[in-house]
Copies of this chain bind each other. A is one copy, B any other.
Amino acid sequence: MNDQNPEPATTEHYIGIGELARESGCKPETVRYYEQIGLLPSAPRNEGNQRRYTTATIRRLTFIRHARDFGFSVEAVRELLQMADYPAMPCEEVDTLAKRHLAEVEARLARLTSVRDELQRMINQCAGGSVGQCHIIDVLSDHRLCHQTGPHGGADVIG
């Protein structure tokens, strides 16, 4: 993950931000954003002030993108990157981070599942009449009509 070499050791092929973005599955804006917040090191520039990357950066960015896809926060990704940068370190911390994240994901899954069940139930009961008799509106108006016992969890958990 240590990759910012403006020195071309051989005729190594440098890529621009567009290709880097394509290769790693994000947008150039996002790459610049990641550089800005320090997830990526400042890229070396060519004569015309444009960022030049090596293929090593594709790997680092893929790592970031992948971790984000897994739902890790940017701060968690920052920690993961730091760990990955020191491969001799024991992986306990990484493991802990992943386990904590798994717990969060499972909690979300549980809530989202109950939301799905409730939505399905609401839709199935809709007789196609007027809004006044609509079960969807009913359920949303009155918590007691829910099959769930507690709250569904904050909206932030889902959306």
Q: How many copies make up the complex? A: 2
- CB–CB B143/A62 < 8 A: yes
- CB–CB B91/A129 < 8 A: yes
Q: Which of A67-123 touch B at CB < 8 Å? A: 67-73, 80, 83-84, 86-92, 94-95, 98-99, 101-102, 105-106, 108-109, 112-113, 115-116, 118-120, 122-123
Give complex CA distance A17, B113 in Å. Answer: 33
- CB–CB B69/A98 < 8 A: no
A136 at the interface (CB under 8 A from B): yes
- CB–CB A134/B69 < 8 A: no
Give complex CA distance A98, B80 in Å. Answer: 38
Closest to A84 in B: B137
Q: List 22 A-B contacts (CB under 8 A).
A: A59-B141, A62-B143, A63-B140, A63-B141, A66-B140, A69-B154, A69-B155, A70-B115, A70-B119, A70-B158, A80-B137, A80-B140, A90-B128, A91-B134, A92-B128, A94-B137, A95-B123, A95-B134, A98-B119, A105-B115, A106-B116, A109-B112
How many of chain A's residues touch chain B, expressed as a range?
A: 35 or more
Q: Residues of B contacting A48 with CB < 8 Å?
A: none
Give complex CA distance A131, B88 in Å. Answer: 6
Q: A83-B131, A116-B106, A131-B86 are in contact. Are A91 and B143 (CB under 8 A)?
A: no
